[in-house]
Chains A and B, each alone.
Chain A
Amino acid sequence: MFELVSMAGTPERSIALETRLKRPIENAQSVGPDYQTWQTYRKHLNDHPGWERRKDPSGVYNCAGLVWAARRTAIYDDWEKILADDGYKQIVEKDVRVGDLVLYMDRQSKPRLLHVGVVLRMYQAVVGVARASSVEVPYVLSKWANGFGEVVHHFNDIPQTLTELKAKIEFWTDRHDQWTP
Protein backbone atom coordinates (compact mmCIF):
# COMPACT_ATOMS: atom_id res chain seq x y z
CA MET A 1 0.00 0.00 0.00
CA PHE A 2 2.93 2.37 0.72
CA GLU A 3 5.34 1.01 -1.92
CA LEU A 4 5.73 4.35 -3.74
CA VAL A 5 6.35 6.26 -0.51
CA SER A 6 8.84 3.63 0.56
CA MET A 7 10.75 4.00 -2.72
CA ALA A 8 10.59 7.81 -3.02
CA GLY A 9 10.93 8.70 0.67
CA THR A 10 14.10 9.59 2.54
CA PRO A 11 15.33 6.43 4.32
CA GLU A 12 15.01 6.61 8.11
CA ARG A 13 18.31 7.33 9.85
CA SER A 14 19.29 6.61 13.43
CA ILE A 15 22.52 7.17 15.36
CA ALA A 16 24.42 5.08 17.91
CA LEU A 17 22.86 5.97 21.26
CA GLU A 18 23.06 4.08 24.55
CA THR A 19 22.05 4.48 28.17
CA ARG A 20 24.71 4.68 30.87
CA LEU A 21 24.35 0.92 31.25
CA LYS A 22 25.07 0.48 27.51
CA ARG A 23 21.57 -0.57 26.53
CA PRO A 24 20.69 0.72 23.03
CA ILE A 25 18.20 3.60 22.73
CA GLU A 26 15.95 3.41 19.69
CA ASN A 27 15.97 6.72 17.82
CA ALA A 28 15.23 8.26 14.42
CA GLN A 29 15.95 11.54 12.67
CA SER A 30 13.33 13.01 10.38
CA VAL A 31 12.95 15.69 7.72
CA GLY A 32 11.86 19.30 8.25
CA PRO A 33 8.29 20.31 9.11
CA ASP A 34 5.53 20.70 6.53
CA TYR A 35 3.50 23.90 6.11
CA GLN A 36 0.67 22.74 8.43
CA THR A 37 3.13 22.00 11.25
CA TRP A 38 4.66 25.48 10.81
CA GLN A 39 1.20 27.00 11.01
CA THR A 40 0.36 25.00 14.15
CA TYR A 41 3.61 26.13 15.76
CA ARG A 42 2.85 29.78 14.93
CA LYS A 43 -0.64 29.39 16.42
CA HIS A 44 0.84 28.00 19.65
CA LEU A 45 3.26 30.94 19.86
CA ASN A 46 0.30 33.32 19.51
CA ASP A 47 -1.75 31.41 22.10
CA HIS A 48 1.14 31.43 24.60
CA PRO A 49 2.65 34.92 24.74
CA GLY A 50 4.65 33.79 27.77
CA TRP A 51 6.67 31.34 25.64
CA GLU A 52 10.14 32.70 24.92
CA ARG A 53 11.48 31.50 21.56
CA ARG A 54 14.97 30.06 21.60
CA LYS A 55 15.29 28.34 18.22
CA ASP A 56 13.32 27.98 14.98
CA PRO A 57 11.62 24.69 13.99
CA SER A 58 13.61 21.58 13.15
CA GLY A 59 12.61 18.02 12.35
CA VAL A 60 15.79 16.29 13.46
CA TYR A 61 14.89 15.89 17.14
CA ASN A 62 11.90 15.95 19.47
CA CYS A 63 11.56 16.85 23.16
CA ALA A 64 13.15 13.61 24.37
CA GLY A 65 15.95 14.01 21.81
CA LEU A 66 16.59 17.54 23.12
CA VAL A 67 16.83 16.31 26.71
CA TRP A 68 18.57 12.92 26.31
CA ALA A 69 20.34 13.02 22.93
CA ALA A 70 21.75 16.56 22.79
CA ARG A 71 19.50 17.59 19.83
CA ARG A 72 20.97 14.88 17.56
CA THR A 73 17.92 12.66 17.05
CA ALA A 74 14.37 11.94 18.18
CA ILE A 75 13.52 9.40 20.90
CA TYR A 76 9.98 8.02 21.04
CA ASP A 77 9.80 4.83 23.10
CA ASP A 78 12.78 4.22 25.35
CA TRP A 79 12.28 6.92 27.99
CA GLU A 80 11.60 4.38 30.80
CA LYS A 81 14.88 2.63 30.02
CA ILE A 82 16.74 5.97 30.14
CA LEU A 83 15.22 7.01 33.47
CA ALA A 84 16.17 3.66 35.01
CA ASP A 85 19.66 3.24 33.52
CA ASP A 86 20.75 6.86 33.87
CA GLY A 87 19.91 7.00 37.57
CA TYR A 88 17.01 9.45 37.60
CA LYS A 89 14.71 9.66 40.61
CA GLN A 90 11.44 11.48 41.13
CA ILE A 91 11.43 14.54 43.42
CA VAL A 92 8.86 17.01 44.73
CA GLU A 93 8.43 20.49 43.26
CA LYS A 94 10.14 22.33 46.13
CA ASP A 95 13.37 20.36 45.57
CA VAL A 96 13.63 21.18 41.86
CA ARG A 97 16.87 22.82 40.68
CA VAL A 98 18.21 24.02 37.35
CA GLY A 99 19.02 21.03 35.10
CA ASP A 100 16.30 18.77 36.53
CA LEU A 101 13.62 17.35 34.27
CA VAL A 102 9.89 18.00 34.03
CA LEU A 103 7.89 15.04 32.73
CA TYR A 104 4.29 15.45 31.58
CA MET A 105 2.56 12.07 31.92
CA ASP A 106 -0.87 10.76 30.93
CA ARG A 107 -3.35 9.41 33.49
CA GLN A 108 -3.44 5.77 32.36
CA SER A 109 -3.00 2.91 34.84
CA LYS A 110 0.47 2.47 33.36
CA PRO A 111 1.44 6.13 32.81
CA ARG A 112 3.05 7.03 29.48
CA LEU A 113 5.19 10.05 28.58
CA LEU A 114 3.44 12.94 26.87
CA HIS A 115 6.32 15.44 26.94
CA VAL A 116 9.63 16.15 28.65
CA GLY A 117 11.59 19.36 29.19
CA VAL A 118 14.62 20.50 31.17
CA VAL A 119 14.50 23.16 33.89
CA LEU A 120 16.45 26.13 32.55
CA ARG A 121 15.98 28.64 35.35
CA MET A 122 14.14 29.19 38.62
CA TYR A 123 12.04 32.34 38.67
CA GLN A 124 11.23 34.17 41.90
CA ALA A 125 7.48 34.68 42.07
CA VAL A 126 5.54 36.46 44.77
CA VAL A 127 2.47 34.65 46.05
CA GLY A 128 -0.29 35.86 48.35
CA VAL A 129 -1.48 39.41 49.04
CA ALA A 130 -1.86 40.00 52.77
CA ARG A 131 1.09 37.81 53.73
CA ALA A 132 3.13 37.83 50.54
CA SER A 133 6.00 35.41 50.22
CA SER A 134 8.23 34.43 47.34
CA VAL A 135 8.56 30.99 45.79
CA GLU A 136 10.83 29.69 43.07
CA VAL A 137 9.00 28.57 39.92
CA PRO A 138 10.70 26.33 37.33
CA TYR A 139 10.95 27.60 33.75
CA VAL A 140 11.41 24.83 31.25
CA LEU A 141 13.25 24.51 27.94
CA SER A 142 10.92 22.54 25.67
CA LYS A 143 10.49 21.40 22.10
CA TRP A 144 6.78 20.74 21.98
CA ALA A 145 6.75 18.72 18.75
CA ASN A 146 9.14 17.16 16.31
CA GLY A 147 8.59 19.97 13.81
CA PHE A 148 8.40 22.82 16.33
CA GLY A 149 11.12 25.16 17.59
CA GLU A 150 12.53 25.36 21.12
CA VAL A 151 10.81 27.59 23.69
CA VAL A 152 11.26 28.49 27.37
CA HIS A 153 8.04 28.52 29.38
CA HIS A 154 6.53 28.41 32.87
CA PHE A 155 6.18 24.68 33.71
CA ASN A 156 2.38 25.08 33.85
CA ASP A 157 2.03 27.11 30.63
CA ILE A 158 1.36 24.11 28.39
CA PRO A 159 -0.68 23.52 25.19
CA GLN A 160 -4.45 23.18 25.64
CA THR A 161 -4.26 19.59 24.33
CA LEU A 162 -2.18 18.50 27.33
CA THR A 163 -4.44 20.41 29.72
CA GLU A 164 -7.45 18.54 28.28
CA LEU A 165 -5.62 15.23 28.82
CA LYS A 166 -5.14 16.29 32.48
CA ALA A 167 -1.40 15.73 32.12
CA LYS A 168 0.29 14.88 35.39
CA ILE A 169 3.46 16.90 36.02
CA GLU A 170 6.41 15.06 37.55
CA PHE A 171 9.87 16.33 38.47
CA TRP A 172 12.91 14.06 38.10
CA THR A 173 16.59 14.58 38.89
CA ASP A 174 19.88 12.80 38.39
CA ARG A 175 21.27 14.46 41.57
CA HIS A 176 21.47 12.00 44.39
CA ASP A 177 24.96 12.06 45.76
CA GLN A 178 25.69 14.18 48.80
CA TRP A 179 28.80 15.91 47.50
CA THR A 180 31.25 17.08 50.15
CA PRO A 181 34.41 18.96 49.15
Chain B
Amino acid sequence: MDTLDRLRSRSIAELVLLITDPEAIWNALRRRPEIIEIKKQMRTLAIPQSRLRGFVRNLLADFRQGRRFPHEHVLAALAVVLDSVPSAFADEFLRDLSRLKVQEFPISPRIAKVAVRKRNERVVPTKVTTHGDRPKLAVDKIRESPPPPRISASLSELPWKLAA
Protein backbone atom coordinates (compact mmCIF):
# COMPACT_ATOMS: atom_id res chain seq x y z
CA MET B 1 0.00 0.00 0.00
CA ASP B 2 1.35 3.42 -0.97
CA THR B 3 2.06 5.66 2.02
CA LEU B 4 -0.20 8.36 0.63
CA ASP B 5 -3.06 5.85 0.30
CA ARG B 6 -3.24 5.85 4.11
CA LEU B 7 -4.92 9.25 3.74
CA ARG B 8 -7.93 7.44 2.25
CA SER B 9 -8.68 5.86 5.66
CA ARG B 10 -12.25 5.55 6.95
CA SER B 11 -11.37 7.36 10.18
CA ILE B 12 -10.19 10.41 8.24
CA ALA B 13 -13.30 10.30 6.05
CA GLU B 14 -15.53 10.25 9.15
CA LEU B 15 -13.73 13.21 10.75
CA VAL B 16 -14.08 15.33 7.62
CA LEU B 17 -17.73 14.34 7.17
CA LEU B 18 -18.98 14.67 10.72
CA ILE B 19 -17.22 17.77 12.07
CA THR B 20 -18.68 21.17 11.24
CA ASP B 21 -15.98 23.75 11.97
CA PRO B 22 -12.99 23.59 9.54
CA GLU B 23 -10.54 24.49 12.31
CA ALA B 24 -11.91 21.64 14.46
CA ILE B 25 -11.39 19.29 11.48
CA TRP B 26 -7.82 20.60 11.12
CA ASN B 27 -7.22 20.04 14.87
CA ALA B 28 -8.58 16.49 14.71
CA LEU B 29 -6.72 15.59 11.50
CA ARG B 30 -3.30 16.76 12.68
CA ARG B 31 -3.48 14.27 15.57
CA ARG B 32 -4.27 11.28 13.32
CA PRO B 33 -1.39 8.72 13.24
CA GLU B 34 -1.55 8.47 9.42
CA ILE B 35 -0.96 12.19 9.10
CA ILE B 36 1.81 12.32 11.70
CA GLU B 37 3.60 9.47 9.89
CA ILE B 38 3.33 11.06 6.43
CA LYS B 39 4.43 14.45 7.79
CA LYS B 40 7.55 12.71 9.14
CA GLN B 41 8.27 11.19 5.73
CA MET B 42 7.80 14.57 4.05
CA ARG B 43 10.47 16.05 6.31
CA THR B 44 12.96 13.39 5.21
CA LEU B 45 12.03 14.03 1.58
CA ALA B 46 10.94 10.38 1.22
CA ILE B 47 7.95 11.40 -0.91
CA PRO B 48 8.97 13.25 -4.09
CA GLN B 49 6.81 16.08 -5.42
CA SER B 50 6.16 14.18 -8.66
CA ARG B 51 4.50 11.39 -6.65
CA LEU B 52 2.32 13.89 -4.80
CA ARG B 53 1.29 15.50 -8.08
CA GLY B 54 0.42 12.10 -9.58
CA PHE B 55 -1.53 11.15 -6.44
CA VAL B 56 -3.68 14.31 -6.66
CA ARG B 57 -4.17 13.82 -10.43
CA ASN B 58 -5.46 10.27 -9.82
CA LEU B 59 -7.90 11.50 -7.18
CA LEU B 60 -9.27 14.21 -9.45
CA ALA B 61 -10.00 11.63 -12.15
CA ASP B 62 -13.04 10.62 -10.04
CA PHE B 63 -14.57 14.10 -10.17
CA ARG B 64 -18.19 14.11 -11.38
CA GLN B 65 -20.16 17.29 -11.86
CA GLY B 66 -23.21 17.55 -9.59
CA ARG B 67 -22.03 14.97 -7.02
CA ARG B 68 -19.92 15.58 -3.95
CA PHE B 69 -16.28 14.73 -4.73
CA PRO B 70 -15.68 11.29 -3.14
CA HIS B 71 -12.06 12.00 -2.11
CA GLU B 72 -12.62 15.32 -0.36
CA HIS B 73 -11.32 13.88 2.90
CA VAL B 74 -8.08 12.85 1.19
CA LEU B 75 -7.49 16.38 -0.13
CA ALA B 76 -8.34 17.81 3.31
CA ALA B 77 -5.87 15.42 4.96
CA LEU B 78 -3.19 16.24 2.38
CA ALA B 79 -3.68 19.96 3.15
CA VAL B 80 -2.95 19.24 6.82
CA VAL B 81 0.11 17.15 5.87
CA LEU B 82 1.49 19.91 3.64
CA ASP B 83 0.83 22.90 5.90
CA SER B 84 4.32 22.67 7.42
CA VAL B 85 6.20 21.45 4.34
CA PRO B 86 8.40 24.10 2.68
CA SER B 87 8.02 23.16 -0.99
CA ALA B 88 6.74 24.68 -4.22
CA PHE B 89 4.19 21.86 -4.55
CA ALA B 90 2.82 22.53 -1.04
CA ASP B 91 2.50 26.25 -1.83
CA GLU B 92 0.73 25.55 -5.11
CA PHE B 93 -1.56 22.85 -3.70
CA LEU B 94 -2.68 24.89 -0.68
CA ARG B 95 -3.12 28.10 -2.67
CA ASP B 96 -5.13 26.46 -5.47
CA LEU B 97 -7.30 24.31 -3.19
CA SER B 98 -8.07 27.20 -0.84
CA ARG B 99 -9.29 29.26 -3.82
CA LEU B 100 -11.57 26.52 -5.19
CA LYS B 101 -15.24 27.54 -4.99
CA VAL B 102 -17.41 24.75 -6.38
CA GLN B 103 -20.30 22.94 -4.74
CA GLU B 104 -18.73 19.51 -5.30
CA PHE B 105 -15.95 20.47 -2.81
CA PRO B 106 -17.71 21.93 0.26
CA ILE B 107 -15.08 21.12 2.91
CA SER B 108 -11.53 20.64 1.60
CA PRO B 109 -11.04 24.28 0.39
CA ARG B 110 -11.98 25.44 3.89
CA ILE B 111 -9.42 23.10 5.46
CA ALA B 112 -6.85 24.40 2.96
CA LYS B 113 -7.66 27.96 4.09
CA VAL B 114 -6.98 26.98 7.71
CA ALA B 115 -3.75 25.28 6.58
CA VAL B 116 -2.63 28.43 4.70
CA ARG B 117 -3.36 30.54 7.78
CA LYS B 118 -1.39 28.20 10.04
CA ARG B 119 1.45 28.14 7.50
CA ASN B 120 1.58 31.94 7.42
CA GLU B 121 1.56 32.13 11.22
CA ARG B 122 4.71 29.99 11.27
CA VAL B 123 6.66 32.44 9.10
CA VAL B 124 8.68 34.64 11.48
CA PRO B 125 8.40 38.27 10.38
CA THR B 126 11.72 40.14 9.92
CA LYS B 127 11.97 43.16 12.23
CA VAL B 128 14.97 45.50 12.61
CA THR B 129 15.38 47.14 16.00
CA THR B 130 18.14 49.38 17.41
CA HIS B 131 19.03 49.13 21.04
CA GLY B 132 20.35 52.55 22.16
CA ASP B 133 23.53 54.29 20.78
CA ARG B 134 26.26 52.11 19.43
CA PRO B 135 29.96 53.11 19.39
CA LYS B 136 30.97 55.14 16.33
CA LEU B 137 32.55 53.22 13.49
CA ALA B 138 34.99 54.50 10.86
CA VAL B 139 32.20 54.53 8.31
CA ASP B 140 30.18 56.91 10.52
CA LYS B 141 33.11 59.41 10.59
CA ILE B 142 33.27 59.37 6.80
CA ARG B 143 29.49 59.93 6.57
CA GLU B 144 29.63 62.90 9.02
CA SER B 145 32.66 64.67 7.44
CA PRO B 146 32.00 67.45 4.84
CA PRO B 147 32.01 66.31 1.21
CA PRO B 148 35.31 66.73 -0.70
CA PRO B 149 35.62 69.74 -3.12
CA ARG B 150 34.21 69.12 -6.57
CA ILE B 151 36.88 68.31 -9.14
CA SER B 152 35.01 70.19 -11.88
CA ALA B 153 35.03 73.37 -9.74
CA SER B 154 38.78 73.33 -9.30
CA LEU B 155 39.24 72.70 -13.02
CA SER B 156 37.14 75.75 -13.92
CA GLU B 157 39.46 77.90 -11.78
CA LEU B 158 42.57 76.58 -13.47
CA PRO B 159 42.61 78.73 -16.66
CA TRP B 160 42.07 81.92 -14.61
CA LYS B 161 45.00 81.04 -12.34
CA LEU B 162 47.18 80.34 -15.40
CA ALA B 163 46.23 83.68 -16.98
CA ALA B 164 47.12 85.49 -13.78
Interface residues of chain A, those whose CB is within 8 Å of chain B, are 1-2, 4-6, 8-13, 28-37, 40, 59, 62-64, 74-77, 79, 106, 108, 112-116, 144-148, 159, 161-162, 165
Contacts and interface: CB of A to CB of B under 8 A. Distances in A.
Given A9-B105, A76-B110, A161-B11, A2 B100 contact: yes
Most chain B CB neighbours (cut-off 10 Å) among A6, A76, A144 = A76
B145 interface: no
Contacts of B28: 106, 165
Nearest to A13: B103
A116 B18 CA distance: 11
Interface stretch (B40-48, B66-74, B122-130, B134-142): B66-74
Contact of B102 (A10, A34, A114, A146): A10
B104 A76 contact: no
A74 B60 CA distance: 24
B36 interface: no
Nearest to B108: A2
A37 B18 contact: no
A33 B96 CA distance: 23
B68 A31 contact: yes
A51 to B, nearest CB: 14
Contacts of B102: 5-6, 9-12
Contact of A32 (B56, B68, B107): B68
A5 B104 contact: yes
A148 B106 CA distance: 14
A42 B93 CA distance: 33
Contacts of A32: 66-68
Contact of A146 (B11, B17, B70, B101): B17
B37 interface: no
Contacts of B60: 2, 4-5
B35 to A, nearest CB: 15
Closest 3 CB pairs of A and B: A9-B102, A112-B24, A30-B106
10 contacts: A1-B56, A2-B100, A4-B60, A11-B102, A13-B103, A30-B103, A30-B106, A37-B17, A40-B14, A115-B20
